[in-house]
Structures are given as C-alpha cells and as structure tokens.
Amino acid sequence: MSYSISVTSDHGACFALRHQVFVVEQDVSIDEEIDDLDKLATHLLATDNGVPTGTARVVYQGDTAKIGRVCVLKSARGTGLGADLIKAAVQQSKDQPGVTKAKLGAQLHALGFYERLGFSVYGAVYLDAGIEHRDMVLDLR
C-alpha cells in the first residue's frame, strides 16, 4: 500500500467513500450522511496509487476543530491508514490560528483507536444515525 493524504476539493470522491462505508456497510440514511456542514468543512482524501481509499472532514467552530465523517474502505482497514487520516486531520487543525482543541464523536467500538491517538472520552453515550457514540477531545496546545 502506497497512500497519500491531502486536503481536497474532490468532494465527490469523499462522498463516494462515505456512501460505501456509512450508507452501504453501516446502514446510515443518505439524508443523515450528507449535511450542510460539508460546504464549510475542510475535506481530506487518502488515495492509494491515486485510488480514493479513505476520507475525513474538519469543521472549525471557534477554538474547536470538529473531526468527522472518518472512513476507510474495508480493503485498507488495519493498514494504519485510519490513524494517519486522524493524524492529518489533527495537524490540519493545529495549523488553524486560534484552534486549541479537536473533538470528534466516536462509535463505541472505535474508542480505543482514538484513545491511542491521544483523545479522551467525555460525556454519555448517545445515538448518531442510530449508532452509539461517545464524544472525545484532544488538547492541541
């Protein structure tokens, strides 16, 4: 696997990845998967030899970077690409003036993954698109 991660304006590629992972695999409704925040977000795209393989988005709200819509195709899971996508989103957030923390909503099965990347769990379990999540935060200072 020889992948690269960069900020992209190719929202179609990001949406196609998200559709495969969230709508097809996880049964999230299309109406919940695409939202108005996509227009405001910075989108990251991971490609393997030019083929879209993973994506994430970052939405800036005051001093907070909200990382979301993180997904990797099944064929690339377990390769470290997901961790590298999060690291890229965190770096993108650190590069924004005034941003001091990154937040995300993690599916319960992924809590340990995000904890290994420095995020801390807070708050109660809640449903997002019918899937149990917990909020997580990372201090960027």
pLDDT beyond 70 at 1: no
- pLDDT tens track for 10-23: 999 999 999 999 99
Nearest to 133 by CA among 28, 59, 61: 28
- pLDDT tens track for 43-101: 999 999 999 999 999 999 999 999 999 999 999 998 999 999 999 999 999 999 999 99
Residue 63, pLDDT score: 97
Q: Where are the domains of the chain?
A: 3-139
- The whole-model pTM stands at 0.93
- Residues 72 and 20: beta-carbon distance below 8 Å: no
Domain 3-139 has CATH 3.40.50.2020: no
Distance (Å, whole) CA 86 – CA 126? 22
